[in-house]
Structure 1
């Protein structure tokens, strides 16, 4: 276990993202998770050095905890969990500035060989070989 905090991205809820009930549309929670995932990959240097390979989202699940309304600011965390095999997890928590958890997002991803259209083995090893900072990607490193 680690005391390190996961990567965070701050996002402000915009009026056009609201549904008819006046709170954040359910699909936008997924978008906020995607923003945080891409910001994390960029911060870790994981978007460079992987020619012909790209991350691909295989599954995503959101647990909605509290509503978000226009003008709310949130921090969206992101943390990678590597295991064995071809997939890895990227978990996010959407947190209001007062510390209230608004949502939890769990995603399963893989790295796809863009020519073969198949997932590659050992995504952690591929990120490491590409020069990505694994300590930025994952609090478990």
Structure 2
């Protein structure tokens, strides 16, 4: 069996995203991860059919590897890892087109009942019941 590639979004670094040192502002890395997460959820059909439940970001961490500068293009991957509890992981890698890893992002999310304002159990089951393509969401499926 061959290993599947995770979902990927291409983004171009814009001039207004730079800091005073001339490289991508640290907060924008989080934004790039969010773009990839939302693009993946949309492509996998995971934003429809959820009813009164929505994903919520609980924790995010970025490890900076190489600087990004204006005009650089990057691929931002996103891959879901479901566990057994109320949370799940979405990991991203920001890679320059030459293959250089610029940053790694790891996030912990949950699925929140919007009326109760509490996490629901089994996020994988929530996505599955909503008709999301689990194989697109996760290379582990």
TM-score (norm 2): 0.99
Distance in 2 (CA, whole Å) between partners of 1:2 and 1:109 is: 28
Q: Distance in 2 between matches of 1:76 and 1:69?
A: 15
Structure 1 stretches of 4+ moved >6 Å: none
Gaps of 5+ in 2: none
- Give the structure-1-normalised TM-score: 0.99
Question: Equivalent residue for 1:39?
Answer: 39
Whole-Å separation in 2 of the counterparts to 1:126 and 1:26:
33
Distance in 1, matches of 2:2 and 2:110, equals: 24
State the partner residue of 1:118: 118
How far apart are the structure 2 equivalents of 1:11 and 1:138? 21
* Partner Cα separation in structure 1 for residue 23 and residue 51 of structure 2: 40
Q: Number of aligned pairs?
A: 141
Root-mean-square deviation (Å): 0.9
Take 1:41 and 1:7, find their aligned partners in 2: how far apart are those partners? 10
Paired position in structure 1 for 2:78: 78
Name the structure 2 match of 1:69. Answer: 69
Report deviation, 1:2.
Answer: 5.9
Displacement of 1:20? 0.1
Instruction: Report what 1:127 is aligned to.
Output: 127
Q: Tell me the residue number matched to 1:109.
A: 109
